[in-house]
Amino acid sequence: MVELFLITVLSLGGLILYMTVKLSRSSDKVLPRNWPVVGMMPALLKNAHRVHEFATDVLKHSGGTFEFKGPAAFANLSMLATSDPANIHHILSKNFSNYPKGPEFRKIFDILGDGIFNVDFQLWELHRKTTLSFFNHAKFYTLLESNVWHKVEKGLLPVLDWFAEEGAEFDLQDVFQRFTFDTISKLVLNHDPQSLCLGLPYVPCEKAFNHVVDALLYRHILPQSCWKLQNWVGIGKEKKLIQAYRAFDEFIYSAIKRLELKINNNDDSSDLSLYTAYVQAYKQQEQLLTGSSVNKFVRDTLLSLMFAGRDTTSTTLTWLFYLLAQNPLVQANVRDEIENKLNLKQEIFKVEECGKLVYLHAALCESLRLFPPVAIQHKVSAGMDVLPSGHLVNPNTRIILLFYSTGRMDSIWGEDCMEFKPERWISGKGRIKHEPSYKFPAFNAGPRTCLGKEMSFVQMKMIAAIILHHYEFQVVDSHSVSPSDSIIIQAKHGLKVKFTKRNM
């Protein structure tokens, strides 16, 4: 049976390769051709190195919604892709109950277990209620402010000062990833792994996130049997995923042991603890988690929050600084606002003062429009439906919401949609202009809107303001900066920069 399976997979792979080569020699067409047996897979493989741009091109030429046909032997690879705001609003809000994450999502994102991103219905409600309670706690923003400024003082500024004094090139994306990893670890695990310090030490758990987001996109493209075989054998991107799984477990379970020890020794008197809150939540709904221990449930929960806290914030900051480098006038306007609205003589400022930075907020929104950290959203229909675009949805249809493409549609954002213009976010009264979440889905939309949206804006403003106050910067080889082919829209080869200290 195994030999027969391998022969089938290899034969299909050979046919797809033949069609891909033939397609590459033919005249370029935007819409993929639906070949016999292999469907549209050749076009997808041909454009795998630019999958987000390819999807955007296809959607622009098909009115914002496109039915992708996978190989006949793998029905689960057929999907409906859309960037249409009306469809996004319908799926994520109006008919929310008909579009759960579904078992396919759970299989693809199995590394997150019973975390908030993987679950539906009662368990999702439990996660949402518990996490919101944490974010809404009276002491939360005081804790966030303290953590951010501690990491700025002990990690960010010493590292950036060293690079500036040496005149050395470095990867700003890596610095942002280390910063957000340390701060989210401290926030949810009460542990600072100190990955951002002089010498930039290698911390396996911190680097494991990059391997995961790369592998997970390929799970959307490859037949399930193929990536499961790779996982079983331990090869390809699945090998990296297996290693990441071990790194996450080692890091988080060790942190949980430290938290348990503190509680048992009465060393932790804080009433603001996610660990304690989720242990209590587990006990309240243990019947929903029959296959999971309390520590496994807490591990899944905290890992999901770490994913959200590390990758989304660091990615947005990376693209913000890239876009500021390409738009000197915008950079000057942002810096002027920081110097005029904030008193930085004592190096830090309060969370409340972030509200003064309207133009910086607009620049962040514009970065999020062009480079939303989470590029795609995966849904599966529970029952039959008709989308606002007129497309019929059968039960168990895979639907891919392409947020990256939504921000680049001139039909949605106008003919200047590819320009970086923070002004589009500012009203005539000098306030931030609200855009519907289904038009601007960087933080998702509907009931599953990101719970940490306000927290992320606060953190990004604090980091961006302090860097722009202290340093001038330039991007090295900016032509090589491009979005990665992964679930999270990182800079594919990082963001190489040079910093110099400003005369203040």
Q: Give CA–CA dist 499/471, Å, rounded.
A: 6
Long-range contacts of 164-170 (CB under 8 A, 24+ apart): 164/471, 164/499, 164/500, 164/501, 165/501, 167/498, 167/500, 168/498, 169/476, 169/496, 169/497, 169/498, 170/496, 170/497, 170/498, 170/499
For residues 131 and 167, is the Cβ–Cβ distance under 8 A?
no
Contacts of 31 (CB under 8 A, 6+ apart): 58, 61, 62, 66
Helix (H, G, I), strand (E, B) or coil at 99: coil
Q: Give CA–CA dist 426/442, Å, rounded.
A: 18
Q: Where are the alpha helices (DSSP H) in 167-235?
A: 172-189, 204-221, 224-233
| Per-residue model confidence as pLDDT tens digits over 201-222 | 999 999 999 989 888 888 887 8
Residue 472: phi, psi to the nearest 5? Answer: -100, 155
Long-range contacts of 33-39 (CB under 8 A, 24+ apart): 34/69, 37/12, 37/71, 37/72, 37/73, 38/12, 38/71, 38/72, 39/68, 39/69, 39/70, 39/71, 39/72, 39/77, 39/78
What integer pLDDT is reported at residue 87 of this predicted model?
98
Asked whether residue 1 carries a pLDDT value surpassing 50, the answer given is no
| Per-residue model confidence as pLDDT tens digits over 65-123 | 999 998 877 766 789 999 999 999 999 999 999 999 878 888 899 999 999 999 888 88
| Per-residue model confidence as pLDDT tens digits over 420-439 | 999 999 998 999 999 999 99
What integer pLDDT is reported at residue 255 of this predicted model?
94
Q: Give CA–CA dist 99/80, Å, rounded.
A: 13
Helix (H, G, I), strand (E, B) or coil at 115: coil
What integer pLDDT is reported at residue 286 of this predicted model?
74
Return the structure tokens found at 225.
């049997």
For residues 455 and 144, is the Cβ–Cβ distance under 8 A?
yes
pLDDT-derived band at 3, boundaries 50, 70, 90 = very low
Structural domains present in the chain = 78-501 (1.10.630.10)
Contacts of 451 (CB under 8 A, 6+ apart): 128, 131, 132, 135
Q: Give CA–CA dist 127/224, Å, rounded.
A: 28
What integer pLDDT is reported at residue 342 of this predicted model?
92
DSSP secondary structure string for all residues of 463-483: HHHHHHHHEEEEESSGGG--B
What integer pLDDT is reported at residue 415 of this predicted model?
96
Q: Give CA–CA dist 216/204, Å, rounded.
A: 18
Q: What Å distances lie between residue 188 and 244, 278, 287, 313, CA to CA?
A: 19, 11, 25, 16
Contacts of 70 (CB under 8 A, 6+ apart): 39, 40, 41, 76, 77, 78, 79, 223
pTM of the model: 0.91
Q: Give CA–CA dist 363/410, Å, rounded.
A: 19
Asked whether residue 359 carries a pLDDT value surpassing 50, the answer given is yes
Residue 138 has a CB neighbour count (10 Å cut-off) of 8
Task: Look at 378 and 314; give whichever has higher pLDDT.
Answer: 314
Of 394, 323, 354, nearest to 98 by C-alpha is 394
Helix pair angle (236-264, 294-307), 10° resolution: 120
Q: Give CA–CA dist 113/101, Å, rounded.
A: 13
For residues 210 and 173, is the Cβ–Cβ distance under 8 A?
no
For residues 456 and 312, is the Cβ–Cβ distance under 8 A?
yes
The rounded percent of the chain whose pLDDT value lies above 90 is 74
Q: Give CA–CA dist 323/433, Å, rounded.
A: 20
For residues 62 and 29, is the Cβ–Cβ distance under 8 A?
no
Least confident of 44-53, 194-203, 359-368, 393-402: 44-53
Q: Give CA–CA dist 8/16, Å, rounded.
A: 12
Q: Give CA–CA dist 57/232, Å, rounded.
A: 35
| Per-residue model confidence as pLDDT tens digits over 269-286 | 566 788 888 888 888 777
- Across the beta sheet with 65-68, the strand order is 65-68, 79-82, 398-402, 376-380
Q: Per-residue b/e over 184-218, b at no fewer than 16 CB within 10 Å?
A: bbbbbbbbbbebbbeeeeebebbbbbbbbbbbbbb
